[in-house]
Amino acid sequence: MKPKAMCGATEVYPVDILEDDPQAYQTAAEGYYDLLRDGGQTSTEVFSLPTGEQVRLESSSLCFCSMYCDEPQHKILVLVNPQDTKTVVAVYLKESWWSMEDVLRTSDPTREGLMKVQSFGERIVLFVLNTIVFGRLERNLDDDDMFFLPHPTKEQAKIMWRDGAAVGFYSIKRKGSLCGGGTSACYLLPVFDTVFVRRKNRCQGLGTAMLRDFCDTFQEDEALGISCPISPAMYKVLRQFLLTYPGERGRLWEVEPPGAWGQRFNIWLKVYLQEAKLQDGVDHQRTRNDTELPRICQKREGSWDAPETFLA
Ligand SMILES: CC(C)(COP(=O)(O)OP(=O)(O)OC[C@H]1O[C@@H](n2cnc3c(N)ncnc32)[C@H](O)[C@@H]1OP(=O)(O)O)[C@@H](O)C(=O)NCCC(=O)NCCS
């Protein structure tokens, strides 16, 4: 079964044509699933993978995935590989099955660069990039590599579009928004929460561009958070970023929610300490325990010239 939506010679993709109506989508998907399960639809239909392999469209290979962590009742219908039922191979949208790559494509030339997630179609792209591409297809499953839960329904996020495809995203927690997890605590500063760039698009400056966009969005705030834990690759990005933009050194903090001063660790100082440790072969963290370090970093004013001198 192939996507039917065509517009002249230009193929259109789900993000360009999906109505902004999650409820209608869900009803249609459930109807299709029921038909297939009850044998109303022939199970001789197959979906062809880019590898040439064919997956039979039958209810045992279909699965409803929760799109949001805070409203699990909103689901999208996916097709999994029968040999590896954790691997999603296609998504059911607009009464057709679409491969992962097609779900991420757009034929709209104005979708280029960083764009806010607003429509239902863009929420699906965010979900697929986060949960399916990063969470499964492009994560190193052998390592204890980090992954992100599905975002909440109204999470503020931007997708990075490049040459007709979604290649990355970042999400933020606004100052004053609820921390979640059943508490009534609210974030005390804007926080750069999740970020991902597809493997084939890495080391081309996209991670840096998203960080720059975040800092520019909150120009008025004197402190900005990056959610803890920060991956080693993201530390590399931050190190390079703070070398390039010294004015941001006093503003960027690794934070635990809600981001009170005792839950912040200045990132530039952490980079400095890590490099000092590497150069001296001295374990600086052993000389000050973890509860002392955040207090050392509670500097609200002044310059951060010591790390700069060290790293020059
Ligand atoms: C972290 C991540 C978003 C970086 O995206 P990116 O687009 O590759 O980052 P950039 O191209 O802007 O990199 C900026 C700098 O960091 C360096 N860098 C980035 N990743 C690196 C890595 N894995 N190893 C060494 N250096 C790295 C780049 O070389 C670049 O420096 P340069 O200007 O000297 O080339 C991406 O690796 C990713 O999605 N990782 C998986 C998810 C993740 O870890 N998210 C962060 C959670 S805290």
| pLDDT digits 0-9 by tens, 220-245 | 999 999 999 999 999 999 999 999 99
Closest ligand 1 atom to the C-alpha of 202?
Answer: 8
Q: Is the CB of 259 under 6 A from ligand 1?
A: no
Which residue ranges make up each domain of the chain? 174-312
Q: Is the CB of 244 under 6 A from ligand 1?
A: no
The mean pLDDT value for 104-112 works out to 97
Closest ligand 1 atom to the C-alpha of 211?
Answer: 12
Q: What's the pLDDT band for 210 if we cut at 50, 70, 90?
A: very high
236 C-alpha to center of ligand 1: Å? 6
Question: The tokens of 308 are what?
Answer: 């700069």
Cα dihedral value 82, 84, 89, 90, nearest 10: 50
According to DSSP H, which parts of the chain are helical? 14-17, 22-37, 100-103, 120-127, 206-217, 232-244, 267-280, 284-287, 292-296, 305-311
- Mean pLDDT (the chain, rounded): 86
What percentage of residues in the chain have a pLDDT greater than 70?
Answer: 83
What residues contact residue 269 under an 8 Å CB cut-off, 6+ apart?
A: 296, 297, 304, 307
pLDDT of residue 2 exceeding 80, the answer is no
Distance CA 206, CA 231 (A): 16
Distance CA 29, CA 93 (A): 8
| Residue 123 one-letter amino acid | R
Q: In this structure, are strands 224-227 and 191-197 parallel, antiparallel, or unpaired?
A: parallel
What is the reported pLDDT for 83? 84
What is the reported pLDDT for 282? 52
Q: Is the CB of 66 under 6 A from ligand 1?
A: no
Q: What's the pLDDT band for 127 if we cut at 50, 70, 90?
A: very high
76 C-alpha to center of ligand 1: Å? 30
48 C-alpha to center of ligand 1: Å? 34
Closest ligand 1 atom to the C-alpha of 240?
Answer: 15
pLDDT of residue 260 exceeding 70, the answer is yes
The mean pLDDT value for 245-267 works out to 96
Q: What's the pLDDT band for 85 if we cut at 50, 70, 90?
A: confident
pLDDT of residue 141 exceeding 80, the answer is no
On whether the CB atoms of residues 119 and 125 are closer than 8 A, the answer is: no
What is the reported pLDDT for 27? 94
What is the reported pLDDT for 6? 39
According to DSSP H, which parts of 203-250 are helical? 206-217, 232-244
Task: Say which residue, 303 or 163, is predicted with more confidence.
Answer: 163
The beta strands (E) that lie in the chain are given as 6-7, 10-11, 46-48, 54-56, 62-66, 75-81, 84-93, 96-99, 113-116, 156-162, 165-173, 191-197, 224-227, 252-255, 264-266
Q: Is the CB of 197 under 6 A from ligand 1?
A: yes
238 C-alpha to center of ligand 1: Å? 9
154 C-alpha to center of ligand 1: Å? 27
Take atom 14 of ligand 1 and give the residue whose Cα is closest.
Answer: 237
On whether the CB atoms of residues 194 and 151 are closer than 8 A, the answer is: yes
Take atom 5 of ligand 1 and give the residue whose Cα is closest.
Answer: 207
271 C-alpha to center of ligand 1: Å? 15
242 C-alpha to center of ligand 1: Å? 14
What is the reported pLDDT for 137? 86
- Give me the count of residues in the chain: 312
Distance CA 89, CA 85 (A): 10
What residues contact residue 155 under an 8 Å CB cut-off, 6+ apart?
A: 117, 171
Q: Could you give the 3-state DSSP secondary structure of residue 165?
A: strand
Highest average pLDDT, of 19-23, 53-57, 190-194, comes from 190-194
Total-model pTM = 0.87
What is the reported pLDDT for 24? 94
pLDDT of residue 284 exceeding 80, the answer is no
